[in-house]
Amino acid sequence: MRTIQMVTDALRSALSFGDDEGTDSGPRTAEIDGKPVQSDGGVEMASTHDDQFFQPVETRGLRSREEVEAIVDDSLQQVMDTAGIAQRIVDTDFNVIRQNRRMKEMSGVGEDSIAEVYCYQQMNNDHVCGTDDCTLKQLVDGEEDRVEVEVPKETYDGEEVFTRIIAEPIYDDEGNVVAISESFRDLTDVKQVADDVEAVASEVKRGNLDVEVDTEGLDGYHRDMAVSFNEMIGVVQRAVDEVAAVSHQLNDDSATTTDASEDLPGTFGDIVAELNEAASAQLEEMERRQRVATQVETAVDELLDASADVADSSTDISDLANQQSEHMSEVSGEVASLSATVEEIAASTQEVNAAATEAESLAETGKADAQEAIDVMESIDEAADEVTDDVQNLRSVVEEIDAIVEVINDIAEQTNILALNASIEAARAGQAGSGFAVVADEVKSLAEESQDRAGEIESMVTTIKNDTEDTVTSLEDTNDEIAHGIDIVEGSMSVLEDIASHVEETAEGIEEVARATDDQAASTEEVASMVDQSAQRAEAVADEVEDVAAVNEQQVARINDIDETVARLNDAE
């Protein structure tokens, strides 16, 4: 990363006192008029010089190259360990040469075994590692100067972690990539929430409302989003339950009404058939009586037989009339019961109509709640946009600070060089330049301290920049999730509008059923009246048949008297 490169450059500058190669860890050498000034382990000594002002100068507090490298290395490790995400540095041979604490926790590879594990063994993905998409390969080949990718990675312990990886190159003085820096952000929880919401949304889209997003283990924004989504499903579920209950009751009542109306024609048909049968029987009997009366006039014996037949038939007719009267009474009771059932159906229809009206009101309430949810999400979206703008402004400020720190570094380096030159000039001046040498040493110390502080500031600025980039990315993801939530709520509103439309159509159907039920009730009352009249007529017929039977008996008696008289007359003759 850029910070590591700048720290390396600063270390090289601080340790290259006239040594062009900057790699010698032995005594450092400065030259005065071609003659060396040696420094061994923190003590600088100038050799004999022709200048009359020259004298040996001892500078205390300096450290060897190894000590400075160790301090810088330890500071660099501390900076990496304080980072909020997992980080590692990988050389071009796929060796992990440095990692921070979070990288160790994520991968399961400690410092004792890091030297034995390649980068693709520590964090592996078959679709990236060993292919042209390898981050190290892309950066070393110069295809990219920064690689960012989101992929699942299998850790050394065998655990799968969904991560966002940001990889950047580390260059040497000649611009060659000697290593890369990789940052890993764990997106497992975020992906889990997104997958859960997507799965639940798919179920809701298919009509299954008995689902919800699991909020266990979630916190902050993700928990609030999941809870809001579950509450929205609950509102839709309650509205659908109300409509389903009303529809179920309507279907039951409609089925009952249909069955009763289908039974009415059959009942009335049986009544009419029985009445016709009775009337036909009565007509036939009257014709038979007419024939018997004629036969009585022609022959007494035939009349006697016919009268006996008439008596028997009258008895049968009387029994039939009584049975018909009883049957008509039963029919009258059934019609009365049917009339009561029709009235109950009418009352139930009114209740169903009221329930449908209530369901329509609930659907409208659900639409209002959904619209309110959309308004809230849009407000959140606007707030997220404002935060994004603020973060963008912060990024600009951080970049300005970074530029200022670079200027401070340059000034410190120049000051350090000037202080070194001043020390040399003070050495030339001899005793007269001793005070100037002290000032030069102090300036040099201040320059080095400024350079160290600038390096620390630059490290912190880099961390802030990385965090700012992550924040911008998270806000963009948040905006996408909010937009997705708005789409889902708008889809729910469409469903509620369909429910309201169907409820309105159902209410109209209920009103039509109510009107038909009223007409049916009126028809049932007319049928009941007709059945009562038929029953009364059947009773009158039964009475008349009994009277006929009595008359027939009298006629038989008279015929017997006539027969006896004829017999007596015959005997008398």
Average of per-residue pLDDT across 277-291? 62
Q: Tell me, yes or no, whether 358 and 503 share the same domain.
A: yes
- Highest mean pLDDT, choosing among 261-270, 510-519, 531-540: 510-519
Q: What are the residues whose beta carbons fall under 8 Å from the beta carbon of 307, sequence distance 6 or more?
A: 292, 296, 552, 555, 556, 559
pLDDT at 286: 58
Structural domain harbouring 527: 246-374+493-572
Whether residue 235 lies inside any domain: the answer is no
Chain CA centroid to CA 191, Å: 13
**Structure confidence at residue 381 as a pLDDT band (50, 70, 90):** confident
Count of domains for the chain: 3
- The domain boundary, picked from 142, 166, 186, lies at 186
**Structure confidence at residue 55 as a pLDDT band (50, 70, 90):** low
Q: Which helix (H) or strand (E) holds 147?
A: strand 147-155
pLDDT at 541: 59
- Look at residue 244 and tell me whether its pLDDT is greater than 70: no
Q: Tell me, yes or no, whether 94 and 163 share the same domain.
A: yes
Whether residue 320 lies inside any domain: the answer is yes
- Look at residue 555 and tell me whether its pLDDT is greater than 50: yes
Per DSSP, helices labelled H in 92-219 are: 101-107, 119-122, 135-140, 188-205
Whether residue 20 lies inside any domain: the answer is yes
pLDDT in tens, 331-354: 566 656 666 666 666 676 677 677
Q: Tell me, yes or no, whether 138 and 63 share the same domain.
A: no
Average of per-residue pLDDT across 239-243? 67
Reading the block at residue 397, the tokens are 């400020």
Are 295 and 369 in contact by the 8 Å Cβ rule? The answer is: no
Reading the block at residue 77, the tokens are 């490790």
Beta-bridge partner residues of 170: 179
Asked which of 125-134, 195-204, 379-388, 541-550 is least confident by mean pLDDT, the reply is 541-550
Whether residue 426 lies inside any domain: the answer is no
Reading the block at residue 403, the tokens are 């530029």
Question: Could you tell me the CA-to-CA distances from 469 to 85, 393, 405, 472 in Å, in that order?
Answer: 13, 12, 20, 5
- Look at residue 118 and tell me whether its pLDDT is greater than 90: yes
Amino acid making up residue 21: E
Q: Tell me, yes or no, whether 71 and 114 share the same domain.
A: no
Half-sphere exposure of 78 (CA within 13 A, CB side): 9
Fill in the DSSP letter of residue 289: H
pLDDT at 31: 47
- Look at residue 440 and tell me whether its pLDDT is greater than 50: yes
pLDDT in tens, 132-152: 889 999 999 987 889 999 889
Are 246 and 355 in contact by the 8 Å Cβ rule? The answer is: yes
- The domain boundary, picked from 186, 214, 231, lies at 186
Q: Which helix (H) or strand (E) holds 184?
A: strand 177-186
- CATH number where 111 lies: 3.30.450.20
- Highest mean pLDDT, choosing among 300-309, 346-355, 372-381, 516-525: 372-381
- CATH number where 568 lies: 1.10.287.950
> Which residues in 521-541 are b (16+ Cβ under 10 Å) and which e?
beebeebbebbbebbebbbeb
- The domain boundary, picked from 31, 61, 82, lies at 82
Q: Tell me, yes or no, whether 524 and 503 share the same domain.
A: yes
Q: Tell me, yes or no, whether 114 and 52 share the same domain.
A: no
Asked which of 3-12, 16-25, 333-342 is least confident by mean pLDDT, the reply is 16-25
Provide, rounded to the nearest whole percent, the portion of the chain with pLDDT above 90.
Answer: 8
* CB-CB neighbours of 168 under 10 Å: 20
Q: Tell me, yes or no, whether 255 and 108 share the same domain.
A: no
Q: Tell me, yes or no, whether 106 and 78 share the same domain.
A: no
pLDDT in tens, 26-36: 444 444 444 44
Largest CA distance in the chain: 208
Are 310 and 271 in contact by the 8 Å Cβ rule? The answer is: no
pLDDT at 425: 77
**Can you give the length of the chain in residues?**
573
Q: Tell me, yes or no, whether 274 and 295 share the same domain.
A: yes
Tokens 């509620």 belong to residue: 496
Q: Tell me, yes or no, whether 368 and 508 share the same domain.
A: yes
**Mean pLDDT, all residues of the chain:** 71
Whether residue 56 lies inside any domain: the answer is yes
**Structure confidence at residue 13 as a pLDDT band (50, 70, 90):** very low
Q: Tell me, yes or no, whether 110 and 65 share the same domain.
A: no
More confident residue, 250 or 42: 250
More confident residue, 126 or 547: 126
Are 32 and 49 in contact by the 8 Å Cβ rule? The answer is: yes
Whether residue 390 lies inside any domain: the answer is no
Average of per-residue pLDDT across 454-475? 81
Q: What are the residues whose beta carbons fall under 8 Å from the beta carbon of 391, sequence distance 6 or more?
A: 468, 471, 472, 475
Q: Tell me, yes or no, whether 293 and 324 share the same domain.
A: yes
pLDDT at 316: 61
- Look at residue 95 and tell me whether its pLDDT is greater than 80: yes
pLDDT in tens, 417-435: 887 787 787 777 777 777 7
